[in-house]
Amino acid sequence: MELKTIKKIGVLTSGGDAPGMNAAIRAAVRAGFYYNLDMYGIYRGYEGMIQNDIKKLDSRNITHVLERGGTFLKSARSEEFRTPEGRKKAYANLKAHGIDALIVIGGDGSLTGAHLFYQEYGIPAIGLPGTIDNDLSGTDSTIGFDTACNTAIEAIDKIRDTATSHDRLFFVEVMGRDAGFIAVNAGIGSAAAAILIPENKTPIESLIEKLKSRTKAMKTSNIVIVAEGGKSGSAQEIADKVKKFLPYYDIKVTILGHLQRGGAPTSFDRLLASKLGVAAVEGLMQGKYDVMAGLINHKVVFTPIVKAIVDDKKVDEDDLRVANILST
Ligand code: F6P
């Protein structure tokens, strides 16, 4: 592959925001300055690329952002970038600024955009895994996942207090799109009675049996974690079904929703984002294009974007086994 001289790098965040995105932007920009590169912020993801919302960054832009949730570059899901016309406009804007490489921080949709753009226009791009869902291969953890799990656990601990006081059964719905990583992590970390994930279809009968056996074991409060996107239905739908079989339970439903996306990143996410931000700049300088930088066993690994987004990262079977033992 031809090694291109890179002088100006554009950075963008796209898709659902995730805690640690700011830390990743900051690390990439600081690394760019270290290597005497010009760094550009592309605001509102691919939308801003199409609308020319692009500004040269200086060190003031990245002061006191490492510790903040969200993304100061803002984020969007761009429909127009999915069209060849949208990408043509975006390319013209990058050329006008002289931007010759991209760092795209986001989930699978955002990285797919970077891949397409590289295929069509040859713009060197490196993706960083920025999503609370943890559903990208090529990295043990995505930026934001650890923070989201901590946020979910903190919220569920509070639900536990009131559930115990009233001997109630709670169904708590967590995010993750069609992946159960947050559910499994938060479920084990909050001593859930059961964890329902999209990857496995849990028959309602086995959930009911489990709840009955916990009643026999004198467990008076129960929290069931339901991952959104599950095959057994939403937390509310499952709660309604369970109520029919176990009418004596006082059942409540809580949807944690977008609070899982906010908040200051944990130490883990700050370190992950910082290492990957530097890796993205160094990777581009070394000619690593159309890849995603991830961390596997604490080491930076570059995985072709097509592999990172297509490979099915599996919820760890051993985590499920442990969750089952601990909830019996
Ligand atoms: O991909 C991150 C995520 O928070 C998913 O967990 C969730 O399904 C989705 O984004 C929600 O998207 P939006 O903020 O557009 O409603």
| 55, 153: one domain | no
| 246, 178: one domain | yes
Q: Identify whether 234 is part of a domain.
A: yes
| 58, 152: one domain | no
**How far apart (Å, rounded) are the C-alpha atoms in residues 40 and 236?**
45
Tell me the residue length of the chain.
328
Q: For residue 175, which atom of ligand 1 is closest to its CA? A: 6
Mean pLDDT of 102-118: 97
- Which residues are 102's β-sheet partners? 10, 125
Q: Identify whether 2 is part of a domain.
A: no
| 300, 152: one domain | no
Residue 132 DSSP label: T
**What integer pLDDT is reported at residue 101 of this predicted model?**
98
Q: Domains in the chain: how many in total? A: 2
Q: Enter the tokens of residue 238.
A: 């499952």
Which of left, alpha, beta for 215 (phi over 0: left; psi -120 to 50: alpha)? alpha
Which of left, alpha, beta for 127 (phi over 0: left; psi -120 to 50: alpha)? beta
Q: pTM here?
A: 0.97
| 155, 120: one domain | no
Task: Identify the residues whose C-beta falls under 6 Å from ligand 1.
Answer: 16, 107, 131-133, 175-177, 228, 261
Buried b (16+ CB within 10 A) or exposed e, 109-129: bbbbbbbbbbeeeebbbbbbb
| 164, 252: one domain | yes
The values of phi and psi at residue 59, to 5°, are: -65, -25
Q: CA 252 from chain center: how many Å?
A: 27
Using the predicted structure, report yes or no on whether residue 1 has a pLDDT greater than 70. no
Using the predicted structure, report yes or no on whether residue 116 has a pLDDT greater than 90. yes
CA of 17 to the centre of ligand 1 (A): 8
**What integer pLDDT is reported at residue 201 of this predicted model?**
87
Which residues lie below 8 Å from residue 132, measured CB to CB, with a gap of 6+? 16, 18, 19, 142, 144, 145, 147, 148, 175, 176, 182, 260, 261
Q: Which of 75, 145, 175 to mutate to test the pocket of ligand 1 (most atoms within 8 A of CB)?
A: 175
**What integer pLDDT is reported at residue 2 of this predicted model?**
64
CA of 47 to the centre of ligand 1 (A): 18
| 162, 206: one domain | yes
**pLDDT tens digits along 211-234:** 999 988 888 889 999 999 988 899
**What integer pLDDT is reported at residue 231 of this predicted model?**
85
Mean pLDDT of 285-290: 97
Mean pLDDT of 167-182: 97
Query: Which of 133, 146, 269, 290 is labelled catalytic?
Result: 133
Write the DSSP string, 138-165.
Answer: SSSS-BTHHHHHHHHHHHHHHHHHHHHH
| 226, 273: one domain | no
Please provide the average confidence, as pLDDT, over all residues in the chain. 96
| CATH number of the domain to which 201 belongs | 3.40.50.460
Range of the domain at 229: 145-261
Catalytic residue status for 133: yes
| 174, 278: one domain | no
Mean pLDDT of 113-124: 96
| 96, 239: one domain | no
**pLDDT tens digits along 177-216:** 999 999 999 999 999 999 999 999 889 999 999 999 998 8
Q: Identify whether 126 is part of a domain.
A: yes
The values of phi and psi at residue 38, to 5°, are: -90, 135
Query: Which of 227, 245, 261 is at the close of a domain?
Result: 261
**pLDDT tens digits along 33-58:** 999 999 999 999 999 999 999 999 99
Confidence grade of residue 237 (pLDDT, cut at 50, 70, 90): very high
| 139, 270: one domain | yes
Q: Identify whether 316 is part of a domain.
A: no
**pLDDT tens digits along 54-83:** 999 999 999 999 999 999 999 999 999 999
**What integer pLDDT is reported at residue 261 of this predicted model?**
98
